[in-house]
Every structure is written in structure tokens, then in C-alpha cells.
Amino acid sequence: MRMLHTSDWHLGRSLHGVDLLDHQAAYLDHLVDVVRSEQVAVVVVAGDVYDRAIPPVEAVTLLSDALARLTEHATVVVTSGNHDSATRLGFGSALMRERVRLRTRVAELASPVVLPDDEGDVLVYGIPYLDPDFARASLADDGAAPLARSHEAVTAAAMRRIRADAAGRPAGSRTVVAAHAFVVGGLPSESERDIRVGGVDHVPAGVFDGVDYVALGHLHGPQRVGGSDGTVLRYSGSPLAYSFSEQHHAKSTVLVDLSGTGPVATELVPAPVPRRLADVTGTLDDLLGAAGEAHVDQWVRVTVTDAHRPQDLVRRVRHRFPHALVVQHRAADGGPRPSRATEVTGAHDPLDVAADFVHHVTGLAPAADELAVLRRAYEQVADVERSA
């Protein structure tokens, strides 16, 4: 059976103020073409379909259209990620019994989508993003205390349920698990939202042992992570670059062949690139000259290194580079540098950022009890955002 694994569409997201919806639509057109040309039987979308809990109407319309076209050729299994509202994304799931199968509820994670073929059943289990603060009670055994407050604990409990269900299925069934998590060994970029709870966000790869293929979402770079023999764990990555840290990613979708007799085979299908990202650094005269020629049609982050900030810098740079997203001055001789605040990205631990601010204001690092207050405040805000 042939499967297509994708994730982290982040429909509705912008890049430094640039609307990406048209480029996301072009990727979904590409996805439909791949499903048709490669005779794909099932498409697995491993979370972060939307960029935020309440997506714009245009993003909802785009998803609806994409699902309608994909299901003309394949079954589509969709799980929710940490950016999605599981409740909103899962609305109507009870009505979608045939070609669109939404897995957004913890109670359904051990109920697979069963896809028969000539070599036996393929079981596709969908694990929605598991917030430990909410899932640790619902995934605990009946009458038992809540699980430990960690991503590893709740994901391991989910996998125990999945293994128990799979053990009762016909011999020779192949198993696929779609999960939205940060698996140990994965390489993050700057555009994934922090998911730390209690300071821990990683899930060991061994938690997924015994599965044929694990379709991972959350990290935006396509990559394979370590697993036991016979278990393939892979991130498909996001279809578009959502930060300058992703400028060297080869964006792709994973084509997976699930043979009934041999190992799982994977192939990366390159995604269309609407406009490449690049860092451009040099003096203003150099960048306005030959040194900048190769980058005029790219999305660029321009760093001008003149000893003194040139007059009318932004206008002159944007005239040369119409798609410049960031323009900054940083003297090559070690002159004034941007403040730390301008360098903070989604890859930074919010608690480290808050601690740095306390140190900047008071001249002293926060004490242990102050760090505890900062952690509680951050996690309370994160809870509110996730439940919105």
C-alpha cells in the first residue's frame, strides 16, 4: 500500500508580514497531483494543519477544498497538532466516516483507520497532540493516579493502548502511527512553537517501538530519527519555510510503501518552492552592486555592515530587494549590535527569555522561587492559548 505523509501546513501563517496563503494553496495543488500520479491510497497529515486555534476563514476554505480534492483519490487521516484547536479541527468528525478520518480526541487514539489491501490490513492510528496537563489524567489507568507531567509519560501511555489494540488485529497487519511530538534526536528550527511543560518537551524514539512507520509532525525540517530495528520514524517537515533558519531545508513530502513482506520504503518528493530565503550581508554599496544581484527575487534578510548606519537605509535596500523581509544594520567593526529582544525567536525557551529580562532590569539573575513564578505564569498563559 502506498501512503503519503505530510504535516505542519500551518494554513493561515504569514512570514514577516507576508501572506503565504497563495503559496500554501500551490503546495496543496501539488499534493493532489502527487496523490493522483503516484496512486496513493492514504494521506496522513500529522498535525498543525492550521497555524492557530481560530484560523482565518480563508484558511478553513482552503482546507475544505483540499480535503474534497484529495478524497477523490485517497483516504485522508488528519490529526491535530499543538497549533490547532483539537475541538475545532475535529468538528464534524462523527459525520466523516469514509474518506476523511479525523483523529483529534484522546479517546479515539487506539481506534485505527483500517485499510485492507491484497497483502493484509494497514492500521493507521492517529495520536493528537498530547498536552501533558490535560492528557495525564485521561490516559492513566482506571483508578490510578495521573501520569507523570511529561510528554514522554503521556505518549508512552498512548502507545500502550495502541499496542494493545494492534495485538488483537489479524496477524500480518502493518501499523502506522501519526504523532505530533518532539522526538529525541530531531533537529528543530526557529519557527516551531515551544511545547515544554515542566521544562521537558522530548519523547524518546523507543516509545514507538513495534510500529512499522511513525509519521511525525512538529519539526519543520524533513528528517529521519533513530528507532529500533523494523520501526521507521520520520518527520515530513513543513511544506514551506516559515523562518530564515529553514532557508537550507529541502522541503518535501514522504512517499511511503508499506509492503506486506519487506521493510518500509520511503522516498522524499520535493515540494514546490515559491521563493527562496537567503541571508545577504555586506556594505550597502556592495549589496546595491554585483554582490546583491543573485538575491533580488528572493525573500531576504539584509544585514548592512557599514561602519555607520547609511542614510535612508530601509528605502534604499527595499528598492534593490523588493522582497526584503528584514533590514538591519550591524557594523562590521563590532559597533552597536541589535538588542537581545530583536534576536528572540520561537526556538528560544520563553523562561530563558523572561530570566534574561529580569537580569537586564535588576542586574541579578532570578532566584529559584522567582523562576517558579515565571514558569507558572508562562504555563497558565499557554494553557489559555491551547484551550481558546
Summarised one tens digit per residue, pLDDT across range 115-161 is 998 888 999 999 998 888 888 888 888 778 888 888 889 999 999 99
- Binning pLDDT at 50, 70 and 90, where does residue 344 land? low
Query: Where do we find the cell 508562562?
Result: 378
Beta partners for residue 182, in sequence order: 202
DSSP string over 212-264 = SEEEEES-SS-EEE---TT-EEEE---SS--SGGGTT---EEEEEE--SSS--
Q: Say what the pLDDT of residue 94 is.
A: 44
Query: What one-character DSSP code corresponds to residue 291?
Result: G
Cα–Cα dist 363/254, whole Å: 49
382 pLDDT more than 80: no
pTM above 0.85, yes or no: no
Residue 46's nearest CA partner among 202, 186, 195, 237 is 237
181 pLDDT more than 70: yes
Residue 233's nearest CA partner among 216, 220, 250 is 216
Average pLDDT over residues 284-306: 95
- pLDDT tens track for 77-118: 999 887 666 556 655 544 455 788 888 888 889 999 999 988
Q: What is the CA radius of gyration of the chain?
A: 23
